[in-house]
Amino acid sequence: MSNHYHVVLHVDQARANSWTQDEVVERWLQLYQGHFLIQGWLKNREALGPAELRVVGEIIEDWRQRLCCISWFMRGVNETIARMANEEENTKGRFWEGRFKSQALLDDAALLTCMAYVDLNPVRAAITDELISSDFTSIQQRLFDYSAKSAQKTAGQQALAIRMAHQQDLKSELNLELQPEAPLMPLMPFDGSVHTDIHTALPFTVEDYFELIDNTGRAMRDDKRGALNPHTLPLLARMGINPLNWLEHVKHFRSRYGACAGSAQSIGDFAGKNNKRWGKGVGVSVRVYGSASLSAKAAAA
């Protein structure tokens, strides 16, 4: 967007815990400066004494936690963007107005809604009226990756390929070749299998997701009253989402929830774990996710 961006992130704590100390150090040094003790440990760890090895271990464990911390991730991204903007404008100082805001996505339905909110942000802001022209977005990248597998290209797929090629040219013009390419940071894939591990793939098919986003984007146009045919969106039914409330839910997703989003049961559990008596968004959750959430309303109230 022109003055902000959205990301939907997944933290795989188990994977981070499985890294060896050498893997943690290798990843950290790709992003930040090291520590003199770590440099000595890499050159000749046998030369370090017990006290030094203990400190090295503490430093590495601290790095491990930072490498799977959303706050540190956002710090790295925002600092990079700020430096680039300041260099472009030949200025110094703060670039971002304030600290980032985050919401925990507690279940598959909340994840789906948040993804739709993010992918349709340019449409909702009237920056574009179709997904293929929604530049520098994950939905455009997913459509491009999906169309690349087709043997015969449609006019829309050809237009998309041209836009993506133009983005690569723009990257060269701005001297951003050193920034990581998309293949090095792939978007999480889709898999409609009920046995899919959330750490591996998103729990729905890419075809169903494309259909949902396309129908939702068309219905969100300002020049007509938004409406969705509940019979054409099986993904909503599988997620237990009420199609009649879907559009309003997507439009106002960020503002209708507080620290977390999901079913009333999920919000209640989250509030309990964080020693809170109430979680914002319970009423909205009940309307969107249907009667299945009613029994959990009291738990989060």
- Domain span holding position 114: 104-256
Determine how many CB atoms are found less than 10 A away from the CB of residue 63: 22
Q: Is residue 78 part of a domain?
A: no
Task: Name the residue among 149, 151, 142, 124 with its Cα closest to residue 186.
Answer: 142
Residue-level pLDDT at 230: 57
Domain assignment present for 181 = yes
The tokens 């309307």 sit on which residue? 287
- Position 146 in a domain: yes
62 with 119, same domain?
A: no
Sequence-distant (6+) residues with CB within 8 A of 72 are 66
Domain co-membership, 108 together with 24: no
Q: Give yes or no: residues 53 and 176 share one domain.
A: no
Tally of domains in the chain: 2
**51 shares a domain with 189:** no
Q: Say whether both 139 and 215 belong to one domain.
A: yes
CA distance 285 to 301: 12
Question: In this structure, are 24 and 156 located in the same domain?
Answer: no
In tens digits, the chain (301 residues) has pLDDT values of 888 899 999 998 999 999 999 999 999 998 888 999 999 999 999 999 999 999 999 999 999 999 999 999 999 889 888 888 888 888 888 888 888 999 999 988 899 999 999 999 998 888 888 888 888 899 999 999 888 887 777 888 888 888 888 887 877 777 766 655 544 567 899 987 766 677 788 888 899 999 889 888 887 765 555 555 555 577 887 787 877 788 888 888 888 888 899 888 888 888 888 887 777 888 888 888 764 443 333 333 3
Q: Does 275 fall in a domain? A: no
109 and 248 part of one domain: yes
- The enclosing H or E element of 59 equals helix 50-67
Residue 207 domain flag: yes
Do 110 and 251 fall into the same domain? yes
Within a domain: 297: no
143 lies in the same domain as 228:
yes
Q: Is residue 288 part of a domain?
A: no
Tokens of 22: 């050498």
Please tell me whether residues 169 and 38 are part of one structural domain: no
Quick check: is 250 in a domain?
yes
Do residues 156 and 19 share a domain? no
d(CA 301, CA 295): 11
Q: Give the DSSP letter string of 122-171.
A: HHHTTS-SSGGG-TT-HHHHHHHHHHTT-SS--HHHHHHHHHHHHHHHHH
> Which amino acid, 82?
A
131-149: b (≥16 Cβ within 10 Å) or e: bbebeebbbbbbbbbebee
Long-range contacts, stretch 42-49, CB < 8 angstroms, 24+ apart: none
Contact of 13 with 68, CB cutoff 8 Å: yes
